């Protein structure tokens, strides 16, 4: 029997006998892979991660980390994993170095190794210069990098990251992912993460699963999922929002239609051949089209199709920033 880094069988979680957060989830993650769980707010991502990291119990179903049962063998599981939670996990009234030292002691790193390992993760997460500053002077992005540094103090077999790069600027996100990737390749660490950045999943995940309302609706490699939509995407920027999509769906060659704000995305088999009919439709209905472009379906389109909503990343990121800022001030 081959051993999976993560194996989940028919997992259910009901909070307070009424909130159905997970509704029968099953999947496997192979060792050494990066696996991204994508889903809208409230889909159940954090709940799943908290079960896999032994913090909460499922209502029913089973989950295993490298063959160890997360409920019955939780102590063994905890020795194999590290976790960057969605909420803040460092102390703000001490320095970055002191935080890392506390985690190093908690992880049981031998005394003589601690300072070398701490220096390495400070370097990796670009925090060397500020290691002796109080964390309450840090930006949200610096705090996130410190939290990731804490999780990299040990070489876990499986690393769980709940929105690891939220609030980081593009350069910091790239740096963090380069280091995580290096970590994965060097030590064979399995990386299980959530993200609200589609490009991140597309670039760094070996496989992705989309979760919606507590169910996995689709999974595969990014390429497989994009290909599964088939065809090409015609993207129209309209002068105004357009709400009734039904007549457009009746136009020949139109396979799917998604509207977000003023951007209309139309899936067709052949963009060049379908454009005249689509443009004629808009001329007849008097809706003015400002710009037209064509692309292959993206992971964002896959998400729109299966989750029925666009990633709310911009709002989401500012929400998290605000919440973290509040934490720092209190």
- Site residues for Mg ion per CB under 5 A: 45-46, 86
Is position 45 an interface residue for ligand ATP (rule: CB under 6 A)? Answer: yes
Q: How far is the CB of 306 from ligand ATP (least distance, A)?
A: 14
C-alpha distances in Å from residue 213, one per residue of 6, 19, 47, 149:
21, 11, 12, 32
Find the binder of ligand ATP among 34, 43, 267, 268 (CB under 6 A).
43
The reply on whether position 106 binds ligand ATP by CB under 6 A is no
Confirm or reject binding of residue 212 to ligand ATP (CB under 6 A): no
Short-list 305, 310, 145, CA closest to 228: 305
3-state secondary structure of 17: coil
Could you tell me the CA-to-CA distances from 63 to 17, 86, 174 in Å, in that order?
21, 21, 32
Nearest approach, Cβ of residue 22 and ligand ATP (Å): 8
Which listed option, Mg ion, ligand ATP, none, makes contact with residue 3 (CB within 5 to 8 Å by class)? none
To the nearest 10 degrees (0 to 180), the angle between helices 140-151 and 96-106 is: 30
Minimum CB separation from ligand ATP for residue 55, in Å?
A: 11
Residue 318 interacting entry, from ligand ATP, Mg ion, none, C-beta within 5 to 8 Å by type: none
From the list Mg ion, ligand ATP, none, partner contacted by residue 144 (C-beta under 5 to 8 A by kind): none
Question: In this chain, which of 9, 42, 87, 315 binds ligand ATP, going by CB under 6 A?
Answer: 42
**CB nearer ligand ATP, residue 42 or residue 170:** 42
The position carrying tokens 């999509």 is 245
User: By rule CB under 6 A, what count of residues binds ligand ATP?
Assistant: 13
What is the C-alpha to C-alpha distance for residues 53 and 155, in angstroms, rounded to an integer?
A: 16
Contact 86, 98 (CB under 8 A): no
Q: Are 53 and 160 in contact (CB under 8 A)?
A: yes
Judging by beta carbons within 10 Å of its beta carbon (0-12, 13-18, 19+), is residue 252 exposed, middle or buried?
exposed
Among 33, 46, 212, 219, binds ligand ATP (CB under 6 A): 46
- Pick from Mg ion, ligand ATP, none: which does 112 bind, CB < 5 to 8 A by kind? none
Q: Which residues bind ligand ATP (CB under 6 A)?
A: 15-16, 19, 21, 39, 41-47, 86
């Amino acid at each position: 029997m081959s051993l999976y880094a993560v194996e989940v069988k028919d997992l259910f979680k009901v909070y307070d006998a009424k909130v159905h957060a997970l509704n029968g989830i099953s999947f496997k993650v192979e060792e050494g892979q990066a696996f991204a769980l994508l889903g809208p707010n409230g889909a159940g991502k954090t709940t799943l991660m908290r079960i896999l990291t032994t913090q909460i119990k499922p209502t029913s179903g089973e989950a295993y980390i490298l063959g160890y049962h997360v409920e019955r063998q939780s102590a063994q599981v905890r020795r194999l994993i590290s976790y960057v939670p969605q909420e803040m996990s460092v102390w703000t009234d001490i320095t970055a170095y002191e935080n890392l030292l506390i985690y190093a002691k908690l992880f049981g790193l031998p005394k003589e190794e601690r300072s070398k390992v701490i220096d390495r993760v400070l370097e990796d997460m670009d925090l060397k210069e500020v290691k002796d500053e109080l964390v309450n002077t840090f930006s949200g992005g610096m705090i996130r990098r410190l939290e990731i540094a804490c999780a990299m103090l040990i070489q876990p077999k499986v690393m769980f990251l709940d929105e690891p790069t939220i609030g980081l600027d593009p350069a910091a996100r790239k740096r963090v992912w380069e280091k995580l990737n290096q970590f994965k390749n060097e030590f064979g660490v399995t990386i299980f993460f959530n993200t609200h950045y589609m490009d991140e999943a597309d670039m760094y995940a070996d496989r992705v699963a989309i979760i919606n309302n507590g169910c996995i609706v689709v999974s595969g490699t990014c390429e497989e999922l994009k290909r599964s939509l088939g065809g090409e995407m015609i993207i129209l920027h309209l002068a105004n929002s357009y709400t009734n999509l039904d007549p457009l769906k009746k136009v020949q060659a139109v396979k799917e239609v998604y509207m977000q704000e003023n951007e209309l995305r139309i899936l067709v088999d052949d963009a060049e051949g379908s454009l005249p009919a689509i443009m004629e439709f808009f001329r007849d209905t008097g809706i003015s089209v400002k710009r037209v472009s064509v692309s292959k379906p993206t992971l964002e389109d896959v998400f729109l199709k299966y989750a029925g909503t666009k990633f709310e990343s911009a709002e989401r990121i500012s929400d998290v920033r605000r919440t973290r800022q509040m934490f720092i001030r209190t």
